């Protein structure tokens, strides 16, 4: 009886192990045919540029500089734009009346979409840093564009919220516990990043329609950061 019971236990254990290994094998899926691994993407200029183009498209769709409500809510914060609707479910009425709450739909979308694009900037920066197949000139240009876009997003977030998280990695272990960076340090980091970007980017545009960032665009944003940083220091001294 005891021997028979031992056989049953051993058989059950073997069945469990086989099932576990089978499940693990089933979970090891290949990369979808319409996607590429990050290491592969950043070994080729064309695919790296495609990721960068996706970032630009995202800026147009939903970001602080887009043409939708997430973009023009900046104007309502500063009373440059009025909002005349008597009722609205998107949260724009509260923004126009300076009565924001943490559940405001527009604010939540604005915040989330901005940090999603900042994460993509960091993905590009990390991928291009480890790339062995992209020529140095293209690596510099891609890095300069990604740094400038990240700085642009963080600049507008700081203008709206003051102290903000300043993520510079895709490591979720770091990002999930990152604290807010004081505004003056945000300005200092923006200045450092934009100075680096200005040194990496060429003066010439890489497209005839001038739709991509060049050195002068990075320098223009750097000048704006300098101006706002000085104003922020003056305001703090006044208090």
The per-residue pLDDT of the chain, averaged, comes to 81
Classify residue 2 by burial, with Cβ atoms within 10 Å: 0-12, 13-18, 19+.
exposed
Mean local confidence (pLDDT), 187-202: 97
Instruction: Measure the CA–CA gap between 91 and 101, rounded to whole angstroms.
Output: 9
Distance CA 48, CA 140 (A): 12
Tell me the backbone φ, ψ of residue 181, rounded to 5 degrees.
-95, 130
The predicted pLDDT at position 63 comes to 80
pLDDT exceeds 50 at position 22: no
Residue 61 lies in a domain: yes
More confident call, 82 vs 23: 82
Q: Is 23 inside a domain boundary?
A: no
* 31, part of any domain: no
Checking if the pLDDT of 1 tops 70, the result is no
Euclidean distance between CA atoms 69 and 76, whole angstroms: 10
- The CATH code of the domain that includes 203 is 1.25.40.390
CA 2 to chain centre: 63
CB 165 within 8 A of CB 179: yes
CB 145 within 8 A of CB 213: yes
Q: Does a structural domain hold residue 9?
A: no
Inside any domain, residue 6: no
How many structural domains is the chain composed of?
Answer: 1
What is the 8-class DSSP label of residue 209? Answer: T
Which residues make Cβ contacts (< 8 Å) with residue 204, sequence separation at least 6?
Answer: 214
DSSP string, 15-84: HHHHHHHHHHHHH-PPPPTT---HHHHTTSHHHHHHHHHHHHHHHHHSSTTSSSHHHHHHHHHTTSS---
79-83, 136-140, 227-231: which range is least confident on average?
A: 79-83
Question: With contact defined as beta carbons under 8 Å apart, do 175 and 169 qualify?
Answer: yes
Band (97; pLDDT cuts 50, 70, 90): confident
Residue whose pair of structure tokens reads 């009722």 in the numeric block: 87
- In a domain, residue 22? The reply is no
User: What is the rounded average pLDDT of the residues 89-100?
Assistant: 76
By residue range, what is the domain housing residue 192?
40-238
24 occurs within a structural domain: no
Environment class of residue 188 by beta-carbon count within 10 Å: exposed (0-12), middle (13-18) or buried (19+)?
Answer: middle
In a domain, 27, yes or no: no
**Cα 57 to chain centroid, rounded:** 13
147 or 103, which is more confident? 147
3-state secondary structure of 74: helix
């Amino acid at each position: 009886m005891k021997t028979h019971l031992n056989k049953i236990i051993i058989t059950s254990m073997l069945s469990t192990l086989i099932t576990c290994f089978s499940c693990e094998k089933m979970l090891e899926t290949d990369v979808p045919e319409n996607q590429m691994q990050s290491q592969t993407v950043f070994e080729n200029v064309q695919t790296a540029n495609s990721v960068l183009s996706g970032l630009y498209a995202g800026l147009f769709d939903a970001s602080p500089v887009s043409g939708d409500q997430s973009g023009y809510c900046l104007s309502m914060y500063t009373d440059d734009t009025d909002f005349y609707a008597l009722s609205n479910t998107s949260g724009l009425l509260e923004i126009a009346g300076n009565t924001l709450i943490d559940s405001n739909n527009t604010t939540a979308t604005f915040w989330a979409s901005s940090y999603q694009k900042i994460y993509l900037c960091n993905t590009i920066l990390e991928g291009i840093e480890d790339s062995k197949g992209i020529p140095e000139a293209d690596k510099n240009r891609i890095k300069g564009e990604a740094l400038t876009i990240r700085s642009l997003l963080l600049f507008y977030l700081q203008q709206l919220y003051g102290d903000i998280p300043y993520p510079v990695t895709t490591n979720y272990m770091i990002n999930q516990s990152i604290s807010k960076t004081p505004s003056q340090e945000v300005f200092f980091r923006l200045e450092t990043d934009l100075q680096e970007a200005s040194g990496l980017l060429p003066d010439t545009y890489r497209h005839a329609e001038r739709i991509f960032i060049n050195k002068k665009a990075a320098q223009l944003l750097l000048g704006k950061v300098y101006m706002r940083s000085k104003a922020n220091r003056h305001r703090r001294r006044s208090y």
